[in-house]
Amino acid sequence: MIWHLSPEDSRPLYRQLFHLIETAIQNGALSPGQRLPSERQLSSLLKVNRSTITHALNELTDCGVLIRKIGHGTFVNPEKWGQQSRPLMNWHPFHSVLLQPKQDHYQLQLTALRNQSHTLKKPLIDLASGDIAVDLLPHQDFTQISWHQLLSLEQDNETARLGLSSFRKAVIHHLQKHYHLNVDPEEILITSGTQQALFLISQTLLKPGDSIGVESPSSFYRLPIFQAAGLRVCALPMDDEGVTLDGFRSLVEKSRIKMIFLNPIFQNPTGLRMHQERKKTLLKECVRYQIPLVEDDTSSLLYFNNDTDIQPIKFYDEQNQVIYLGSLSKYIGNNIRAGWIVAPRNVITRLADTRQQIDGGLSVLPQLLAEHYLIKQINNHCHFLRKKLLNKANTLEHWLSKQAPFPIQFRKPEGGLYLYAYFDPYQERDITHLLDLWLKENITAAKGEYFGDKIGKLRLNISQWPDHAIGHIPTKEN
């Protein structure tokens, strides 16, 4: 629901409404040219005095965000849509971008519990975490290399520009072996992870005010990278097989989408997997509308069934329409920051130029560690992970089914790190009570709202669940 003011927000009400409408435009809840409810309706929906509504709408109109037409209503300005409502060098909006999303009461409790667990060494089942559990990380038995060799590799121009040559070769072999992707060395750029890849794309291939489509819900939804770049994030509707074709066409026809960002295999947060025909048809639609598709492959090798289709959309790409992103953070953790971009040569050249202008290159050591993992460890380690995660998923599902009287529904995950649970809309109060009970037992969860979804959804990190079953959480306090 868009029209809701947080009771915990201490700002003046008109500023809260100003921010609410501005955020709704940024995240795709309000579209260019869309008519807002009348002042009377807003006053009733928000339970706010009508003069407060008028004040906020007038300020947004003065900023050019809204257009007010006498006798017709108030509309989102299609000319200003997706652009900042204040001057670019006003540091206040930049500061607000970096602070989003604002933490609610549950998130503050979750943070305090994590801090307490760290300082007091208390056990914590952190299902809200996005990272793979520490006890599932591989042992890094990397052969030592001298500092002289490291420094020598750091000085190499090609390494600084595109990434370590031996690591690029290891990635190329990995892509061919596991996904049947044939990639030329000139079509791959090593990055320090997906975040850097997205930053380079947003700074090089897009410009402030451009509209991009992202899955809804999605981990892309509230990335400060997109907001800081001044991009307009629009929601792509999903069903059980990922982005819907009708939703994609509707958004493209309604908005001037410049690029779409997808995580089609074991999607974060839902765990969904896009099926082969949907991938092919969506790619054809992107070709038809001439819209580049950025595909983020985070954990496709963590399938639970050997027959699972994990073929990336990039495999079907004959028109160079897809930019493919890969990384190892869901396998070996975030500490070893190494990833890659696969794209046409001219795009790789532009992205490499942008990075050199910004930071000059990459550290060699993480690339060497990642290379070692791809060559020596990935097969055995992924086999270990698949077995462990499947067992954890089964145990977690059984535990969730015992959370009566809170009927928790979920779709059995086919792989990856996440299980997405949901409640009926009328159970919102029960969800709050259940989450509080979980916190008392040192169990956390990530709310679906953090990913742009509706109230009543929870993302649970399978890897963080203990191997053995735990007791039933009581529904009433003793």
Q: What is the 3-state secondary structure (H, E, C) of 264-301?
A: CECCCCCCCECCHHHHHHHHHHHHHHCCCEEEEECCCC
In a domain, 141, yes or no: no
Tell me the CA end-to-end span of the chain in Å, nearest whole number. Answer: 35
In a domain, 48, yes or no: yes
Question: Percentage of the chain surpassing pLDDT 90?
Answer: 56
CB atoms within 10 A of CB 24: 17
Let me know whether 182 and 304 are in one domain.
yes
Domain containing 205 — which CATH number?
Answer: 3.40.640.10
Let me know whether 62 and 194 are in one domain.
no
pLDDT at 6 over 90: no
The H or E element spanning position 204 is helix 194-204
Integer CA distances (angstroms), 154 to 161, 222, 339, 341, in order:
10, 34, 17, 20
Let me know whether 279 and 334 are in one domain.
yes
Helix (H, G, I), strand (E, B), or coil: what is residue 348?
A: helix
Q: Name the E strands within 246-317.
A: 257-262, 293-297
DSSP classification of residue 105: H
Question: What is the model's pLDDT at position 88?
Answer: 38
β-strands 418-422, 457-461 pairing:
antiparallel
Mean pLDDT for all residues in the chain = 86
In a domain, 144, yes or no: no
In a domain, 245, yes or no: yes
pLDDT at 99 over 50: no
pLDDT level of residue 274 (50, 70, 90 thresholds)? very high
Q: Are 42 and 3 in contact (CB under 8 A)?
A: yes
Q: Is the bond preceding residue 217 a cis peptide, omega within 30 degrees?
A: yes
In a domain, 150, yes or no: no
CB atoms within 10 A of CB 222: 19
CA-CA distance, 435 to 328, in Å (whole number)? Answer: 31
Let me know whether 17 and 34 are in one domain.
yes
Which one-letter amino acid corresponds to residue 265? I
Candidate ranges 91-95, 144-148, 286-290; pick with highest mean pLDDT? 286-290
Question: What is the model's pLDDT at position 138?
Answer: 93
Average pLDDT of the segment spanning 311-333: 96
pLDDT level of residue 200 (50, 70, 90 thresholds)? very high
Question: What is the model's pLDDT at position 150?
Answer: 64
Let me know whether 396 and 437 are in one domain.
yes
- CA torsion through residues 123, 126, 130, 132, sign: positive
CB atoms within 10 A of CB 179: 19
In a domain, 26, yes or no: yes
pLDDT level of residue 91 (50, 70, 90 thresholds)? very low
More confident residue, 356 or 284: 284
User: Which of 377, 404, 428 is where one domain is finished?
Assistant: 377
Question: Percentage of the chain surpassing pLDDT 70?
Answer: 86
Domain that holds residue 34: 13-99
pLDDT level of residue 428 (50, 70, 90 thresholds)? low
Average pLDDT of the segment spanning 179-183: 96
Let me know whether 259 and 174 are in one domain.
yes
In a domain, 1, yes or no: no
Domain containing 120 — which CATH number?
Answer: 3.90.1150.10
Token pair of 15, please?
């500023």
Of the listed ranges 54-63, 218-227, 313-322, the one predicted with least confidence? 218-227
Domain containing 70 — which CATH number?
Answer: 1.10.10.10
pLDDT at 306 over 80: yes
Question: What is the model's pLDDT at position 87?
Answer: 38
User: Which of 361, 377, 393 is where one domain is finished?
Assistant: 377
Comparing CA positions, the residue from 287, 290, 313 lying closest to residue 215 is 313
DSSP classification of residue 426: G
Let me know whether 334 and 205 are in one domain.
yes
The H or E element spanning position 112 is helix 105-120
Query: Which residues are within 8 A (CB) of 4 and not within 5 positions of it... i.e. 6 or more apart?
Result: 20, 46
Let me know whether 331 and 212 are in one domain.
yes
CA 93 to chain centre: 22
Let me know whether 215 and 350 are in one domain.
yes
Of the listed ranges 40-54, 143-157, 170-184, 366-380, the one predicted with least confidence? 143-157
In a domain, 233, yes or no: yes
Of the listed ranges 3-12, 205-214, 320-329, the one predicted with least confidence? 3-12
Let me know whether 162 and 109 are in one domain.
no
Provide the number of structural domains found in the chain: 3
User: Which of 338, 353, 377 is where one domain is finished?
Assistant: 377
Question: What is the model's pLDDT at position 146?
Answer: 63
Let me know whether 366 and 409 are in one domain.
no
Let me know whether 46 and 169 are in one domain.
no
